[in-house]
């Protein structure tokens, strides 16, 4: 069995009992960054073999992991934070396991975009998740394709690009488009800023920019 196990995006109390039990019972844990995962595993008393599985080695590692699964080993995949394969490694391994007829289970648990969407105040009956936009090649093409999107759009962004992204969104979607930015979700300094794109630009021009950002933008009405 291949388990995809969500880990907290900040607050350790968001780890589920089932997630802890699965990580204690599997034979191998695959972690996006073993240094990041080590404190989490130690906190919950999980002592298992841990191997790195990240975007730089996942293509090479898939065949060996599939081999272990076929031998009857139970393997859990975790990312640095949140649900594996959501803007993190995991898709290639899941696809390969399914193709080989192996069992795959994804546990429910923490992920950043769901609370950001729900508390944004924007329509959430229909939405599209875009994750991280391309940094250079393909970025403008993607934005132009979203200009007429009617669903609420969800993006991930890093602190050093957030202001540039807001400015680009103003150009593409208009200064008065309603939006919400959430950062440091579930952590001590969680912040949710709502309003027009202009409001968000003014806020982050005058306040510290720290943490990881989830950017929700209302669709075209």
Q: What is the pLDDT of residue 148?
A: 96
Q: What is the pLDDT of residue 54?
A: 85
The domain total for the chain is 2
Q: Mean of the pLDDT values across residues 187-207?
A: 96
Residue 53, domain CATH: 3.40.1010.10
Q: What is the pLDDT of residue 175?
A: 98
User: What are the φ/ψ torsions at residue 162 (nearest 5 degrees)?
Assistant: -65, -45
**Which are the contacts of 183, defined by CB distance < 8 A and separation ≥ 6?**
190, 191, 210, 211, 212, 213, 214
Whether 120 and 206 share a structural domain? yes
With a cut of 90, say whether residue 58 has pLDDT above it: no
Structural domain boundaries enclosing 19: 2-106
Q: Mean of the pLDDT values across residues 210-221?
A: 95
Single pTM value for the model: 0.92
Q: What is the pLDDT of residue 55?
A: 79
The residue out of 50, 84, 106 marking a domain boundary is: 106
With a cut of 90, say whether residue 161 has pLDDT above it: yes
Q: Mean of the pLDDT values across residues 63-67?
A: 95
With a cut of 90, say whether residue 50 has pLDDT above it: yes
Q: What is the pLDDT of residue 154?
A: 98
Q: What is the pLDDT of residue 45?
A: 97
Residue 136, domain CATH: 3.30.950.10
Average model confidence (pLDDT) for the chain? 96
At 73-95, the pLDDT tens digits run 999 999 999 999 998 889 999 99
Whether 119 and 213 share a structural domain? yes
Q: What is the pLDDT of residue 57?
A: 82
Whether 102 and 127 share a structural domain? no
Whether 72 and 122 share a structural domain? no
Whether 51 and 91 share a structural domain? yes
With a cut of 90, say whether residue 60 has pLDDT above it: no
Q: Mean of the pLDDT values across residues 123-140?
A: 95
Specify the length of the chain in residues: 221
Distance in angstroms (rounded) separating the CA atoms of residues 203 and 173: 18
Q: What is the pLDDT of residue 156?
A: 97
Q: Tell me the percentage of the chain whose pLDDT exceeds 90.
A: 93
The residue out of 74, 106, 138 marking a domain boundary is: 106
Whether 116 and 194 share a structural domain? yes
Whether 96 and 8 share a structural domain? yes
Q: What is the pLDDT of residue 221?
A: 87
**Which are the contacts of 33, defined by CB distance < 8 A and separation ≥ 6?**
52, 54, 80
Whether 153 and 211 share a structural domain? yes
């Amino acid at each position: 069995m291949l388990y995809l196990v969500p880990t907290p995006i900040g607050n350790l109390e968001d780890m589920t009992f089932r997630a802890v039990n699965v990580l204690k019972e599997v034979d191998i844990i695959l972690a996006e960054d073993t240094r990041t995962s080590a404190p989490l595993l130690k906190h919950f008393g999980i002592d298992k073999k841990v191997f790195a599985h990240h975007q730089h080695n996942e293509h090479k590692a898939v065949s060996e992991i599939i081999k272990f699964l076929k031998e009857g080993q139970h393997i859990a995949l975790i990312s640095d934070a949140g649900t594996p394969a959501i803007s993190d490694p995991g898709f290639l391994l899941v696809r390969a396991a399914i193709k080989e007829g192996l069992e795959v289970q994804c546990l429910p648990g923490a992920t950043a975009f769901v609370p950001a969407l729900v508390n944004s105040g924007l329509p959430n009956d229909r939405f599209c998740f875009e994750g991280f936009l391309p940094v250079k090649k393909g970025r403008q093409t993607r934005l132009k394709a979203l200009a007429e999107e009617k669903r609420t759009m969800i993006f991930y962004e890093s602190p050093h690009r957030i202001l540039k992204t807001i400015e680009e969104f103003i150009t593409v979607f208009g200064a008065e488009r309603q939006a919400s930015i959430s950062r440091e979700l579930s952590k001590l300094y969680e912040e949710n800023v709502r309003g027009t794109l202009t409001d968000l630009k003014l806020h982050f021009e005058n306040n510290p920019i720290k943490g990881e950002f989830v950017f929700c933008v209302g669709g075209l009405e």
